[in-house]
Structure 1
Amino acid sequence: MAANKSWILSSILLSALLLGACGNSEKASEDKKTKEEEKPKMEETASDTDKDVSKEEKDKTEVEESGSEGEALNPYIEGETGGKSEILYTNDNPGFESDENGFKVTVDKYQIAKVTDMDQSTANRFDGSTSGYIITALMTVDNQSGKPVYFNGTTNIRLQDELTYVPSNTRDFIEEGKGLRPKTYEAGLDGNTNMYEDGEKTSGLITYKMTEDQYNMMTGVKPKFVMESSASQSKDFKGSGEFMPEKIFDFTYSGEQAEASASAPQFYPDSMTTDNIADKKMIFEKNDINKTEKIEDAVDITLDGVQYAEVIPTAGNEARFGDDEMVALTVKTTVKNNTDKELNLFNLSAKVTIDEDRGYTRNNGFAEPSEPKKVKAGEEADRYFVFLFRKDEFQLFKQFDMEIGPFFGEKEYLFGEKTVQFELPR
């Protein structure tokens, strides 16, 4: 197998081997393997040393005045770039929100502006072009966590894949005092940190600069808005992945795209779509199944729905899939933790038995959402499982039976290695 083939091809090969030669040894050692937990991104906001801002004029009302009644959310763009600004799209209700552990971050509004006739010093920041795009967002931070929180405000707009993105900035093309900063921030103070006091609520602007090439790439894919794991109650940002897990949202850049998205099928999340390496075409779905099975009195697992979809590689990602046409089965479940301890969802595995005795395939952990990794005591969380099939083989299959579990603790299996079973609609 060529070195540039991805985990998707590896998963297909594994599934083929399992389907062709599986027996009754279902407690093989691979059952105990767990996925390597991804480390949260901790990139600093770009160009944080370019300018200083004061702690004054942080009030949300003042910031919103510039964007009211259809006006520019960020009129400072023209003066800063020396160019002319045209508003292309405004989203007054993006729905981008992270609300974890009493620390809430929302994007209240964003606006996309095209800038032309920039001065040369600005053009140098847009690959030498005198035209480009600046996206301005109004973000609100509300800390009700009970402790101070360190938050960099780091977000990005994901383009062609997880490695191609436009980072956020809390200084560039923003009027002094209008960028997102905590109230305790003092301009020019060495060692200054973005620390939000307990009970503090503040709003400010963030920006994203795009070249013509980046904008064209964005309009050719289904871009995502990513709230990174960039907050912690620790100054060194330890535990940021658990305190503020990464959140990924669809990013709208035009009214036409918004209308098309509203009428399109709503797919369950997986890393193929959130990382923009593939689109999907729905084959069949069934929601609101609401069938629950129990593992002792410890866990309730509910089968919520299933989706079968053709996988369509996006431009530049065809090699990840080789020459095979693919079908993805995504299963949505809800896991309710009735114990007094956290349960790990990240290493919870599943398998689908095909046509009773044809064979089985295991879930593709690397294609599944990375969050949530755990479910707290007394709470519940969604857990999505993804299975990949070659399309030519998938068309032959008639019956899918899914087994979930067992749960794994720190060193051993839990609840007597018990599992639950569901017959999946097909």
Structure 2
Amino acid sequence: MKKSLFLMSSLILSTSIILGGCGKSADETKKDDEPKKTQEEKGQAKDKDKVEKEESKKDQESIKGSADFASLISYMEKETQGKTKVLFENNESQVHKMEKVSISLDAYSVVELKDFHTDFNIPFGEQTNGGVILAKYTVKNDMDKDVYYMPSLDLTFTGANKIYTNDKDLIPEESQLPTKLGYKTDYLLKAGEEITGYIAYPFGETDLAKINELGTVTVEVPKPYTEKENYSSTLGSDGRFNLALNRDGSKKVASDSSFYQDKVTLDNMGEKKMLKEKSDINESKKIGDVNAILEGYQFTQFTPNEVEAPRFSNFTNGVTLLTVKFKLENKATSEIGLSAMTSKLSVNDGMQYSLSEGMLLNYKYNDVIKAGETGELLQVFALDQEQYEKIWKDKSFEVELGPIRDKDVKDTSKGKKETFTLPK
């Protein structure tokens, strides 16, 4: 990095010697000025040295990264014969709890890696310039029994052509989380145990440019198991970490935290702008053996990004999204399959209706609310923005929820449904 330059200017004094007049002689003037000039020069030199040291320190930090990542970056640079530069770092922890098991993203560093050996180019899309996201994770078991955890912390972003996973050749093997908690250890996380390790996600320069423009990426957090290789013995629910990659990304992550976490928000599908919201409604209705509680709703103006725009091509007048939040108390003997739940929105005093959009929800097949447990259900509706603004927004909205279904889409509430009117 180019260091700041200090331009030193000398004060040139013109002294007129007038014979027989008052004042100092040229020799006297020179003697008086010399100490003053020397003092100024010393002060400027001292200031210059101080600033240069500070900038040198900043340069070193930007090249090598924080203490968490400095040794890893040095290793990666030496191993790949490439040149590194830290582009962005974040040390604010994110935690996802799965009952008494938790995983935290403690810190991460976005590192540019250029001109590296071709032996390493395959995970970089066969390019020899790119970047690496180094992430530090801690997995903790606060239960009084062992669990099993596979740290397949896959990274993705809007428009990604593949899933990004750990590259075992970029950082020391003994520091990698999949080494400390992997197949050699049977993925065993003992009662009371805590394991910290790193994952390196590589990107070619093409994908690095994409994620820098998006500003954010996400990491999928899987659930632990209470029994070895028994994939039905899971605890809690899957989670996500949102990673900002630059200042704009940090602003995006901060603003998105105020929105319900539907797929639009979680996958950074575009920009949301809050139009109207209401929370703490807490209206409860019974659907079979399930108490459905309307907790709140959000109307947002939505502008899809370039990647997602084709999905919304039918909305020529803009898109308004309605996201409705329910709490479901499952008092039945069967599970509730979140991905199988649907609803209907009636607008314009019942003259028009819209069905919930499953593609805008983040639920997977195995996302359920077990018998006897309580969980959240989001439902999303896509509306024509112009009609919303001109016709619908001041009229009543009714959401019909049900029937209750399990993950195999089997009706478990005998066709029962309930209608909720969204309060203004």
Could you state the TM-score of these two structures normalised by the residue count of structure 2? 0.71
- Distance change in 2, residues 1:165/1:106 (3 Å): farther
Q: Which moved more, 1:141-150 or 1:84-93?
A: 141-150
3-state SS of 1:77 partner: helix
1:303 maps onto 2:300 in alignment: no
| Counterpart for residue 31 of structure 1 | none
Q: Specify which of 385, 388, 397 is matched with residue 394 of structure 1.
A: 388
Distance (Å, rounded) in 2 between the aligned partners of 1:339 and 1:356 = 34
Q: Which residue of 276, 279, 303 maps to 2:270?
A: 279
Corresponding position of 1:257:
249
Counterpart residue number, 1:354: 347
> What SS is found at the alignment partner of 1:68?
coil
What is the identity, as a one-letter code, of the residue corresponding to 1:333? F
Quote the residue 1:42 is aligned against.
none
How far has the Cα of 1:348 moved from its partner?
2.6
**Greater RCO (CA < 8 Å, at least 6 residues apart):** 1
Give 1:109's aligned residue.
Answer: 107
Residue 374 of structure 1: aligned partner: 368
Aligned AA (1:402): V
Check whether the contact 2:278–2:296 (CA below 8 A) recurs between aligned residues. Answer: yes
Q: TM-score, normalised by structure 1?
A: 0.71
From 126, 141, 145, the counterpart of 2:124: 126
Distance 1:303 1:76, change over 3 A: same
Cα distance in 1 for partners of 2:298, 2:80 equals 47
Mapped to 2, the partners of 1:383 and 1:155 lie a distance apart of: 24
Q: Which residue of 2 aligns with 1:4?
A: none
Secondary structure of residue in 2 paired with 1:346: helix
CA contact (8 A) 1:280 1:309 kept: no
Q: Which amino acid aligns with 1:81?
A: T
Amino acid at match of 2:382: L
- The Cα shift of 1:305 comes to 2.0
Q: 1:70 to 1:259 in 2, by over 3 A?
A: farther
Alignment of 1:60-75 (within 5 A): 67-68=66-67, 71=70, 74-75=73-74
Output the amino acid matched with 1:223: T
Identity in percent: 23
User: 1:135/1:408 Cα in 2 relative to 1: closer, same or farther (>3 Å)?
Assistant: closer
Which amino acid letter does the alignment assign opposite residue 250 of structure 2?
A
Deviations 1:134-155 (A, max 9, x none): 1111112223556654433212
Q: Which amino acid aligns with 2:92?
A: N
Query: Is 1:318 aligned to 2:316, yes or no?
Result: no
Asked if the contact 1:114–1:132 (Cα under 8 Å) also holds between the matched residues in 2, the reply is yes
User: Which region of structure 1 is more displaced relative to structure 2, 398-407 or 226-235?
Assistant: 226-235
Q: Which has the larger radius of gyration?
A: 2
Query: Secondary structure of the residue that 2:403 maps to in structure 1?
Result: coil
User: In structure 2, what residue type is equivalent to 1:387?
Assistant: F
Instruction: Tell me which residue corresponds to 1:9.
Output: none
What does 1:150-299 correspond to in 2, within 5 Å? 150-161=148-159, 163-169=160-166, 171-181=168-178, 192=184, 194-199=186-191, 200-229=193-222, 231-233=224-226, 235-236=228-229, 238-239=231-232, 242-243=234-235, 245-259=237-251, 261-263=253-255, 266-276=258-268, 278-295=269-286, 298-299=289-290
Q: For 2:74 and 2:423, how far apart are their aligned partners in 1?
A: 54
- Alpha-carbon RMSD across the aligned residues, in angstroms, is 3.4
Q: CA deviation at 1:295?
A: 0.9
Contact 2:216 2:253 in 1 (8 A): no
Contact 2:125–2:203, Cα closer than 8 Å, also in 1? no
Higher mean displacement: 222-231 or 315-324: 222-231
**8 Å CA contact 2:256, 2:265 repeated in 1:** no
Q: Does the aligned pair in 1 maintain the 2:73–2:84 contact within 8 Å?
A: no
**Aligned counterparts of 1:265 and 1:184: Cα–Cα separation in 2:** 31
Q: Is the 8 A contact 1:67 1:73 kept in 2?
A: no
The range that moved more, 262-271 or 150-159, is 262-271
Change (3 A) 1:378 1:144: same
Could you list the runs of 5+ residues in structure 2 that have no partner in the other structure? 1-64
CA spacing shift, 1:173–1:296, aligned 2, 3 Å: closer
- Alpha-carbon separation, structure 1, partners of 2:293 and 2:103: 30
Q: Which amino acid aligns with 1:107?
A: L
| Structure 1 gap ranges (5+) | 1-65, 186-190
Cα drift, residue 386 of structure 1: 0.6
1:365 to 358, 361, 380: 358
Shift in CA distance, 128/348, structure 1 to aligned 2, threshold 3 Å: closer
Q: Distance in 1 between matches of 2:68 and 2:156?
A: 29
Q: Which amino acid aligns with 1:137?
A: A
Offset of residue 411 of structure 1: 8.5
Q: Distance in 1 between matches of 2:400 and 2:107?
A: 43
Match of 1:84 in 2: 83
